[in-house]
Copies of this chain bind each other. A is one copy, B any other.
Amino acid sequence: MTAEPERRRGRRPGGADTRAALLTAARAVFTESGYDGATVRAIARRAGVDPAMVNHWFGGKEALFAEAVLHLPFNPKALIAEILKGDREVLGERIIRTFLTNWDAQDGGVFAAMIRSVSAHEQVANALREFFVHQVFGQIVSAMHDDGSALLRANLVASQMIGLGMVRYVARFDPASTADVETLVAAIGPTIQRYLTGPIG
C-alpha cells in the first residue's frame, strides 16, 4: 500500500479552528449529557459554529464521539461497514484483527486513555456504554439477530474486546502484550464468532 497522496475535503469553511472547537465542545457535551442525550445542535451551539460543520468535519455524531471522547484513530461507522462486508463465517476473526491492528498502530495508548477515562468518570462510562453497545457492536449484531439476543450478544463481544485491550495495553500481561495479531485472532476469533452467531444460552 502507498500513502494517500492528498486528502480531499472540499472547501473548509471555518478552517481547522472550527474542528478544534467542535472537539472541545463535544467532550463537554458528551460528558454532561451522555451519548444519546448529546445532540449535534447542542455541540455546535457550544462551539459557536453551524451544526452543518459536524457533518462537514466528522461525518456525524458517532465519528465526532469516537474522536473527541474515545480518541479512536478510526471512523467506527466506516469500520463497521468494512467488517460487515466480508464472509460472515469469520466475522469474529475479522473484528479482532481490525481492532488490534488499529489499536496497535498507536501502541495501545488510545485504548489505555479510554479505560482511564471510563474508570475515573461515571459520565464517560455512560457515553461509552451507549456508544459501544448501541452504535458499534449493536449495529453488527442487530444486522444478524432479531430474537431479542442482540443486546446481550453485543455486550459479550464488548466484554472480550475490552478485556483483550486491558491485558494487551493496560495491564500488559505476557504473552498477551507481545503476541502477534494472528495468534490472538486464532485464539479469540472463535469466541467473538460464537457471541455473534452461535448458541449463547
Contact = CB atoms under 8 A, between A and B. Distances in A.
Nearest to A179: B152
B119 A173 contact: no
- Contact residue range for chain A? 35 or more
A197 interface: no
A16 B7 CA distance: 67
A190 B198 CA distance: 11
Interface of A: 112, 115-116, 118-120, 125, 128-129, 132-133, 151-152, 155-156, 158-164, 166-168, 170-176, 179, 183, 186-188, 190-191, 194-195, 200-201
Contact of A155 (B160, B162, B167): B167
A128 B187 CA distance: 23
Contacts of A190: 194
A171 B120 CA distance: 11
A125 B116 CA distance: 13
